[in-house]
Amino acid sequence: MQLLTLISLAAIALSSNAHPTRARRAASNLLTVPLRRSERDSGLHVDLLHQKQINRAERLMARAAGLPPPSEAQLRANLERRASFIPDISKRSNSNISTTAFDDGGHQYFMSLELGTPPVEFNIVLDSGSSDFWVASSQCTFNGGSCQNHTFFDSQKSSSFVDLKQNFSITYGSGAASGGIVNDTLVLAGVQMKDFTFGIAHNISQEFATDHNIDGLMGLAKAGVGIRNAPPPQIVMRNRGIIDQAIVSFRLPRFVDHNVGEVTFGGLDSTKFDPSTQVTINSTNSGFWIIPLDGASVNGKSVKIQSNTGFMDTGTTFLLMPEADAVAVHQQIPGAQHKNGQFTIPCDTKATVSLTFGGKNFDINPSDLVSGAPKNKPSDGNCSSRIGVSAKSSTQWFVGDTFLQNVYFSTNIDENTVTLAKAI
């Protein structure tokens, strides 16, 4: 799925072999849609994937602080420096360095929805780190050529299409898109919403063009993060009375437990979490989902950390933190090693890392700490850790899917709160 915007709305798509349950609307004005996970192997060395995650975090951090973001050239330089420490980097990795300075090759979470009349189905990536919604148009180009194999929105084939005669341009930590702003009919979980505003992208970056699973992106952060302060989709749904509150709740898919996952608009699905572990925390930022971090522990032993805030982001794969905190956490994981800013841990680690929010501890499944273990286990039995170092200037933790797929994660724009509970 992180990110920066220059004008209007977002949506992205992906494909998977999972067999999701059907979208449904509950009697209590909840819209629940299956959430699937798609992974794309970019062929990059895991250290470079880690650096791309850091690049995303740098852009998010700048956006949250109201500062100018680092340029693509600066982020690419970070990537090239990281590559210089890898003696056996592949030719494929080298070629990607020059064209893509952001985070790809990880996994993303997507749902299906329909646009237009007659309706056409799109797979849309959900991102809690942005608040805009767009899909690729039938006129889409990439570097002057084709946008390749996607489902495209064709305005000439929709009888309900309205061109608002406005332009948009969006830059993320993982790509960019630009085009026009339009109105058309959206159908989500069987509920029809006419004159829904979104962007249709006529130009997209390599990150989107070459990922054939992606059709668009829907951002679910707060309104201040989006272009022109346009309201995010959950606000639009609430204002129309489709849902009662501007709440979005995630049960992220996990391959380990064969969980398909779901996203619920309007409230929480009580069947997906343990209510005795539920805690609601005030967000400390007007745009992003940033909350106080009370502490961390490994195997029940408290770890002394310097940071006290967590940036909750479904678009970040790893758990990123200041270097001193990353060192402190890994010192408590048996067999962990640190070299050139990258940590390794035993591929079969049994360590339980826990984060504390709202006075409650939430465990990370040990299997989620291991990054992309090869089919053939390394001879030394060590794999890259999904706990990594964020940008040097960062003072907060970027809490990505390494943690979030272990909890039920819910955001409430109306109350400016985040709710967490142990997922079941």
In the chain, the domains with their CATH numbers are: 24-40+106-250 (2.40.70.10), 273-422 (2.40.70.10)
Q: Which residues of the chain carry a pLDDT beneath 70?
A: 1-28, 39-47, 50, 61-69, 72, 78, 82, 85-107, 173-174, 210-211, 227-229, 255-258, 372-379
Q: Give CA–CA dist 333/362, Å, rounded.
A: 17
Q: Which amino acid is at 268?
A: L
State the catalytic residues: 127, 313
Task: Give me the pLDDT at residue 45, please.
Answer: 67
| 270: Cβ contacts below 8 Å, ≥ 6 apart | none
Task: Give me the pLDDT at residue 148, please.
Answer: 72
Q: Give CA–CA dist 280/403, Å, rounded.
A: 17
Task: Confirm if 200 and 122 have CB atoms less than 8 A apart.
Answer: no
Task: Confirm if 172 and 130 have CB atoms less than 8 A apart.
Answer: yes
Determine whether 138 is exposed, middle or buried from the number of CB atoms within 10 Å of its CB (0-12, 13-18, 19+): middle
Task: Give me the pLDDT at residue 17, please.
Answer: 36
The one-character DSSP state at 58 is: H
* pLDDT tens digit sequence for 276-295: 999 999 998 778 999 999 99
Task: Give me the pLDDT at residue 91, please.
Answer: 43
The pTM of the full predicted model, rounded to 2 decimals, is: 0.84
Q: Give CA–CA dist 31/201, Å, rounded.
A: 27
Task: Give me the pLDDT at residue 3, please.
Answer: 42
Task: Give me the pLDDT at residue 150, please.
Answer: 84
SS3 97: helix
Q: Give CA–CA dist 204/178, Å, rounded.
A: 7
Write out the H or E segment, with its range, that includes residue 174. Answer: none
* pLDDT tens digit sequence for 131-151: 889 999 998 887 777 777 789
Q: Give CA–CA dist 184/116, Å, rounded.
A: 6
Q: Give CA–CA dist 340/103, Å, rounded.
A: 19
| 371: Cβ contacts below 8 Å, ≥ 6 apart | 46, 49, 50, 318, 383, 384, 385, 386
Task: Give me the pLDDT at residue 51, please.
Answer: 72
> Could you give the residue ranges of the DSSP H alpha helices within 119-158?
none
> Could you give the residue ranges of the DSSP H alpha helices within 240-333?
323-331
Q: Give CA–CA dist 162/38, Å, rounded.
A: 32
